Structure 1
Amino acid sequence: MPDADRPQELPARLLTDPQMIDACRARDFARVFRLVKTRAGIYPSMIARRCDLTPSRVGEVITGSRRLQHMDVIERIADGLRIPGHMLGLARRSWETPPTLAIAEQELPPAALPEQETPASLPSPGVDSILAMAANTPLSRATLEAFQSSIEDYWRRDDQHGGEALRPAIVGQLRFVVALLKEHRPSSLQNGLYRIAAELARLTGWTYFDARQYSQARVYFTEALQLAKEIDDRQFMANVLACMSLQATYQDKPADSLALVTAAQDQARSTPSTTPRVLSMLSMREAFAHATLGSRGATYRAISEAHDHFEQTQTSDPDPSWVTYFDEPKLIADTGIAHGRLGEAATAEPLIMEALRREARTNMRGRAFHSFWLARMQLDQGKIDQACHTATQALEPASAVASERVTGHLREFYGQLAPHRNEPEALAFEARLRELLAPVSGSLRP
């Protein structure tokens, strides 16, 4: 199924809401559809399409003039809206097991050995039983470390390929951890679970943000904030608010962006454990907000603070894992982008170029993202041949990662190139664009 047609998950907060649970238990689809509309932004026409129903039938259900009772229709609703089977009194749906847990069955050899009787004390070897055994396994520090390792792997793969394909597994793990939080255990383990859940919620929000699905991103970012607040992890709350600030910048809401990053800095400064690297990252997000507002002096001050904080970083600092991406090349690149947002292309160009020279080549999205920024800065200065060469080099990493944000920067460069379309360099770039990103180039056709 194409990514655009794949049903997206309902927010975890909705699936755990007592109103939703009660409506599903009663199979009151009028209430279910209304909750899905108001809490997840999935409107009746979308419900109809995803559940293979007619729009008029969905409307009749919502108004209470029709009830849905046929099992095949209820199953279509569960699958189309991604409502776990147990909530509607159904068997576990095939999509509920995260891809990372799915195991392909092996065919039996032609001459199979006689079947041995399964001891009565053992559960059946179904996925439900296996997961039940896993859930009943005592939680330990090693379990938390395993969760953390998986999160770090998700981030690495997100940089290389984008988060769209990872999202079902991330959401599945988030729901599993949130369910574990309902049990009583020592505070050290419980706090560790809250941190894991908060990181998974932020990561889910990030995948939606990178896909430019902003309303869904905000739902998960808000959930991450709530989880971090439960254990008063103010550094992580600052991190989530910084993500929301960056999203507001992309939505062209600079005042919201500045308010969110200011709140992030307040949270970070209220705890002595906040490291200079975290403060540096937050100052750079502040610079983005000021630059989008066109406040030149405030942007310069925030950039200077970011560099001052970064100079205080030590290899022995207890930096949280989520901020380690903010290294010196990233600081340099973001400094260039802040100047670029102010329209200072000549200042931005050498900074972004230096960051690309030093940036890890495995970070496909980062390289594509920064390369398109560099190309735009070069084009702003009339360097058409250099800009087209830079953008052409960016196409390979851009085609390797599923990221609507990167595609958006490609579209912006392509639009900026319009007055120069007949130049030989521009024609060569467009030919390469059509070769590697045919669907994108089609959508960019003037």
Structure 2
Amino acid sequence: MPETSRPQELPARLLTDAEMIEACRVRDFARVFRLVKARAGIYPSMIARRCDLTPSRVGEVMAGRRQLVHMDVIERVADGLRIPGHMLGLARRSWETPTALTVSERQPPQEAAVQEPAPATLPGSEVDSFLALASRADPGPSTLRALQASIEDYWRRDDQHGGEVLRPAVVGQLRYVVGLLHDGYPEPIRQELYGVAAELARLTGWTYFDARQYSQARAYFAEALQLAKQVDDRQFIANVLACMSLQATYQDKPGDALAYVNAAQDAARGAPGATPRVMSMLSMREAFAHATLGSRTATHAALSEAHRQFDCTRPGDSDPTWVRYFDEPKLIVDTGIAHGRLGEAATAEPLIADALRRESDSNQRGRAFHTLWLARTQLQRGKLEQACRTATDALEHASAIASQRVTGHLREFYDQLGPHRNEPTAIAFEARLRELLPA
């Protein structure tokens, strides 16, 4: 069926209604059609059109003069009215898994062989390049402050909306700063430019990581490492390695994740002025790697070290800007997630719930992640209705951002619902999922 003519979902309140469930179970299509008309506003002529039936046949069914018994007709009714297959004793229908939950690693888009010309009102890219060369002034402190401010703004918008739409601007600024490095600026300015370029390369890698384009992410993380190495910024090198460790965790490569984070810890320990907050964050990444490996004792030891280091933080610490996100609520929620990865749901649930109460609402992606983790721990504890309500709350945040990593978390929760898909609360969640994240 074409995308443009895809049927709308039935209301969740109808799919979870006891009368509808019973009518579907016994395949009483007279009652099914009457309920669809009364509760969803889908009249007989629309039922006929959606199910590829004649209006007269629908009328006869609703009047009780005719029954639907052939399997191909029942399948057309299920697909046309969007009645989940299990309700009618059918196999799961292809449309029941939202296309939005496809989470395979995405390939970077291929450039078109013939590019459309730019609008006539805009100058060509060559003109921009020549004008930039002609007007380029030595970057002073104000220019460097502006570049740093733009990076902080990119990170804020990445948290709120996802990074995919920001990537062209970030890459453009990265190439601009790398171009400045080819000029003969005094060493203090070159040092700062290398630092800015490294941060932009890491941010670009992060946007690819969030979009599950892992090979591209690694390429930009490698560039960030090279740029940071030019100025021997050991703490920033540790930061990039920590990002690579997290990516390896998501790729289910816990051995790689542990190797990266151990290298990050070595780099940070050898850096002048390594702060407790940095070491705490790195210990938490180590805990994630151990938890993914299933190493309970090592995970608990890394969590203890993360908390010990965080207890040493002080308001006046000279923390790098890139680690300031790692505050107390983040420490707590990550502790809960590490326990959740180990299957220690009873410990994880109250920690994640407490952190969510204290987190900022501005980080839509973070709240979506953490709320889904809370739902997963609740489901592990047998709290099906509460878990589905929590996951539905997470959908509100997930629908506001473009993040394939969030989609991955949705996929995991959705798969965990498998044994409970006949339950009304699970049906209601799936209906809301398809409503907010359409194909």
TM category, shorter = 0.7 to 0.9
Partner of 1:160: 160
2:333 partner letter: A
Coordinate RMSD, CA, aligned: 2.1
Correspondence 1:145 to 2:155: no
1:272-311 aligned within 5 A: 272-311=272-311
Give the drift of 1:139: 1.1
Q: For residues 190 and 129 of structure 1, what CA distance do their matches in structure 2 show?
A: 22
Partner of 1:195: 195
Partner of 1:405: 405
Give the drift of 1:389: 0.5
Name the TM-score, length of structure 1 as normaliser. 0.71
Partner of 1:89: none
How many equivalent pairs are there?
331
Give the drift of 1:42: 8.3
User: Is the contact made by 2:261 and 2:286 (CA closer than 8 Å) also made in structure 1?
Assistant: yes
Partner of 1:221: 221
Partner of 1:86: none
Partner of 1:35: none
Give the drift of 1:378: 0.5
Partner of 2:351: 351
User: Is the contact made by 2:107 and 2:213 (CA closer than 8 Å) also made in structure 1?
Assistant: no
Which blocks of at least 5 consecutive residues in structure 2 are unaligned? Answer: 1-105
Partner of 2:103: none
Give the drift of 1:126: 5.4
Partner of 1:328: 328
After superposing on structure 2, the runs of 4+ consecutive aligned residues of structure 1 that deviate more than 2 Å are 125-134
Instruction: String of CA shifts for 1:325-376, please: whole Å, max 9, x gaps.
Output: 1011100010001001111111111111111111100100000000111101
Q: For residues 413 and 246 of structure 1, what CA distance do their matches in structure 2 show?
A: 20
* Corresponding residue SS for 2:313: coil
Q: For residues 327 and 280 of structure 2, what CA distance do their matches in structure 1 show?
A: 10
Identical-pair percentage: 68
Q: For residues 402 and 104 of structure 1, what CA distance do their matches in structure 2 show?
A: 31
Q: For residues 42 and 437 of structure 1, what CA distance do their matches in structure 2 show?
A: 21
Give the drift of 1:137: 1.0
User: Looking at CA atoms only, which structure, 1 or 2, has the larger radius of gyration?
Assistant: 2
Q: For residues 130 and 182 of structure 1, what CA distance do their matches in structure 2 show?
A: 17
Change beyond 3 A, Cα 1:318–1:338: same
Partner of 2:426: 426
Change beyond 3 A, Cα 1:434–1:145: same
Correspondence 1:210 to 2:210: yes
Give the drift of 1:94: 4.6
Give the drift of 1:141: 1.1
* Corresponding residue SS for 1:283: helix
Q: For residues 183 and 127 of structure 1, what CA distance do their matches in structure 2 show?
A: 18
1:344-383 aligned within 5 A: 344-383=344-383
Correspondence 1:248 to 2:215: no
Q: For residues 42 and 354 of structure 1, what CA distance do their matches in structure 2 show?
A: 38
2:163 partner letter: G
Q: For residues 104 and 363 of structure 1, what CA distance do their matches in structure 2 show?
A: 37
Partner of 1:127: 128
1:39-188 aligned within 5 A: 50-52=111-113, 76=114, 79=115, 94=118, 127-134=128-135, 136-188=136-188
Name the TM-score, length of structure 2 as normaliser. 0.73
Q: For residues 94 and 283 of structure 1, what CA distance do their matches in structure 2 show?
A: 49
Q: For residues 286 and 402 of structure 2, what CA distance do their matches in structure 1 show?
A: 27
Partner of 1:416: 416
Q: For residues 167 and 252 of structure 2, what CA distance do their matches in structure 1 show?
A: 26
Give the drift of 1:272: 2.8
Q: For residues 432 and 293 of structure 1, what CA distance do their matches in structure 2 show?
A: 34
Correspondence 1:261 to 2:261: yes
Q: For residues 150 and 381 of structure 1, what CA distance do their matches in structure 2 show?
A: 44
Give the drift of 1:431: 1.7
* Corresponding residue SS for 2:399: helix
